Every structure is written in structure tokens, then in C-alpha cells.
Chains A and B, each alone.
Chain A
Amino acid sequence: MARIVGGVTTSHIPAIGGAIAKGLQGTPYWKPFFDGYAPVRSWLDKVKPDVAVVIYNDHGLAFFLDQIPTFAVGAASEYPNEDSGWGLKPLPPVHGDLELSWHLIESLVADEFDITICQEMKVDHGFMVPMMTMWPEATAWPVRAIPIAVNTVQHPLPTAARCYKLGKAIGRAIEAYPEDLKVVVFGTGGMSHQLQGERAGFINKPFDQMFMRKLVEDPEALTRLSNTELVEQAGSEGIELIMWLAMRGAMTRGVSVVHSHYHIPVSNTAAGVLVLDNAA
């Protein structure tokens, strides 16, 4: 049977990709951020997952505002990365897992999640930056991946509670998959940040620290936050944290913390990373 070997949350700020491309990981600005990823990489090297289910949001590469799925699941054998407007060199495509994708899709729909099925899906920095930070030295991606895109761009967005339930459904689906696979679930985005308006540059450290603690100990408490409260507390773009709750939902009720790291700022954002292990 497939097994969830852990959950990882990580920010997916595009500047991280730029820093990796330019080899700036050791500079005074970037070192405190990248140092937080060394333990994640050692953990991944030890656990050696076969598949990563990556919960992320698209920022205008796969989807435009003409058609915005609330939840979209990739069902492709390959996910290409392309120019998102800044002329960065595209990263190598990530291989998918068709059978697991369709198993997930069937299971989620049976579980009353009316997802959008994507047999072609480009993946932008929201997906790729986590891949790069987890496996920066890989010449070929060492895992297959399944992108699950959550709408965090066009309001109304799904609620924190809904994302948590989606995570639970993802967890059930993975654990019911008959093949022996080790699956890691990534919840990406956040933490607090705001890119727009006169409040641009808003960061809320106490909120982020509370969020990281509760995500481990009492995620249900976080599902009671409304999207308005999340925008207010985490910033208009920090609401991406609903995707951390989706990852958390896929895990067992009790979890242990393998690693936790928090750093301000990366670009305009508070960056957080957590590695969680299911209760034995």
C-alpha cells in the first residue's frame, strides 16, 4: 500500500528561484533562509519518497482569470515549467504518475470534491520553487510529482476549513492506493506577506509563529479562521497559508515535528518551513 512518509510546508517565493539560479545561497541575505533547508534535504535523503503531492497555487501560467478552478489536480505524465513573464530559464519538467493521479481524482470526486482534471498543466514558481529548495543539486528530479492547484488568486477562495478537508480526502486517497509507494505531501506558499496596496510589505511574525505551532498541535483551531481574518492577519497574499492546512489534513491527527524554521524577510515575505511526521 502507498504510505504518507511525511508532510512539508514551505514558502514558494519566486526570488528564491532567482537566488538559486545566481548561486547566492551563501550570501549574508540568503544564508539564514537556505540554512533552514539543509535538515529538510537530509530528511528527504533518508526517507527517499517516490512521489511528491504538491499543493500550490498558480500565479498566471497554467490558468488565466478566464477560467479559475478552485481545486485542480494534474493528470499528466509530465509537467513543464515556462517563462512566467520575467524571462527566467525554464526548469526541467517534472515527471508525473498517471495511475496515482487518476486514483486521486477518482477518490476525491467520490469524496464530493468537484475538482478540475488537468491532462496538461504548466507549473510555475509556486510548484517549482519548493522542488528546487528540496532538491537543489538534482540533475533530474528524484521524485515523480502530482500538482494540486488551489485558487488563492481570485476571490472567493476556498476556506481554510475546506482546504483542511481536501487534505483529509487526499490523505485517505493516498493511503488507499494499492501500490507500495512512499508519498510526501507539500503544502506551499505563505507565510505572512502582502504584495498589493498601501499595506504592501505587511508581515506578522506573532501570527506566523502561532500558525506554525497550531498547525502541529491543533490544526482544527486554524480552520475556524475566516478568509477575511486570514487576509487581515497574514496579508492579502499570505492567505496562501490555507494550502498548509491542506497538507496538514493529509497527515494523522497527531504528528511529530522533524524540523521547523522561520525567517524574515525573503523578498517581501516571512518564510517558514516545517517537516512533519505521522504519528506512529
Chain B
Amino acid sequence: MAWSKHDYDRIPGTYVFNGRRSALGYPLNRMCMSFNHAENRESFKQDEEAYCQRYGLTPEQRDAVRARDVLKLVQLGGNIYYLAKFAGIFGLNVQDVGAQQRGMSVDDFKAMLEKAGEPTHG
């Protein structure tokens, strides 16, 4: 058995959410889906470890949850739309999460986005 290779694997810094990643991240994404309900967000906040356990996250995924390490969670099969629900619990928006994954400050990240709109860039 072998996972198919894809031409998109060559794109740097990009984790195309395919079957392989989705299968790996399924418990994690399922947990994030539960955060659509306020009472589940509360119960996660009260006992994160127990909550992760209940959804069957792997030890690696649990470590990354504990560290709020979104890039690691993406690498472990988290889908960014589902991870956005997780990040929201800590008041982090997609810019915070983007900056974190890119390894820069939120201000620098925002400045980079602004720069993308400048005339010199097109």
C-alpha cells in the first residue's frame, strides 16, 4: 500500500488537504467541528486533556494542541477551516494564525499583506 504522489506536493509551505492528511487529522478535525457549539467550547476550556482524549487525538496532536501550534496541527492533518474554530477559542483570528505559521509578528504579517496591494506588486 502506498499513498499516491501529487504534483502539488512541490508547492512550498503548502499542505494541500488531501485524503492522506484528512485521514490523519480526522479525530482532530472532528474535535474542532464540535466547537461549533458554545457548550463544547466551554467543556474543552475546562479540561482540554480530557476533551482531546475523548476525540482520540494522537499524543503528537495533543502536544500541538497544548502548544497552540497551528503549523504543527496543519502538518498533523488539521484542516485550516476547522483549526480556525480551535484558534477562535483563544481569541486568535486568521491573521494571528497566519503570522504564527509564517513565523513572524502579527504586525509584520499585516504589513506584508498591505504591501501585496501596492502598485509595485502588479
Bitwise, A151-163 to B at CB < 8 A (1) or not (0) is 0011110000000
- With contacts A85-B35, A268-B94 taken as known, whether A196 is within 8 angstroms of B101 at the C-beta atoms is yes
Contacts of A168-213 to chain B: CB distance below 8 A: 194-201, 203-206, 209
**Is A231 interfacial (CB 8 A cutoff)?**
yes
For B18, B99, B102, which residue has the most chain A Cβ atoms within 10 angstroms? B102
Contact: A65 with B79, CB < 8 Å? yes
- How distant is the Cα of A75 from the Cα of B35 in the complex, in angstroms? 27
- How distant is the Cα of A104 from the Cα of B85 in the complex, in angstroms? 33
Contacts of A57-75 to chain B: CB distance below 8 A: 59-61, 64-66
- Which residues of chain B come closer than 8 Å to A268, judged between CB atoms? 94-95, 98, 113
Bitwise, A262-277 to B at CB < 8 A (1) or not (0) is 0111011010000000
Partner of B95, one of A153, A205, A267: A267
Contact: B36 with A198, CB < 8 Å? no
Chain B at the A interface: SS class: helix
Closest to B86 in A: A85
Contact: A200 with B30, CB < 8 Å? no
- How distant is the Cα of A161 from the Cα of B97 in the complex, in angstroms? 32
**Is A11 interfacial (CB 8 A cutoff)?**
no
Contact: B80 with A232, CB < 8 Å? no
Contacts of B27-64 to chain A: CB distance below 8 A: 29-30, 32-33, 35-38, 41
Contact: B102 with A201, CB < 8 Å? yes
Closest to B37 in A: A83
Contact: A197 with B36, CB < 8 Å? no
Measured CB to CB, the closest approach of chain A to B10, in angstroms, equals 8
**Is A101 interfacial (CB 8 A cutoff)?**
no
**Is A119 interfacial (CB 8 A cutoff)?**
no
- How distant is the Cα of A268 from the Cα of B101 in the complex, in angstroms? 13
Contact: B114 with A265, CB < 8 Å? yes
Contact: A205 with B117, CB < 8 Å? yes
For B26, B98, B99, which residue has the most chain A Cβ atoms within 10 angstroms? B98
Extra 18 A-B pairs, beta carbons < 8 Å, given A64-B29, A195-B94, A198-B103: A60-B33, A60-B85, A85-B35, A85-B84, A85-B85, A154-B79, A155-B18, A195-B81, A197-B15, A198-B71, A198-B101, A200-B101, A203-B117, A205-B117, A227-B8, A228-B7, A231-B16, A265-B116
Query: Which residues of chain A have a CB within 8 Å of any CB of chain B?
Result: 15, 59-61, 64-66, 82-87, 153-156, 194-201, 203-206, 209, 226-228, 231-232, 236-237, 263-265, 267-268, 270
Complex A-B: 9 CB contacts under 8 Å: A64-B29, A85-B35, A201-B113, A204-B116, A205-B116, A206-B121, A228-B8, A231-B14, A265-B114
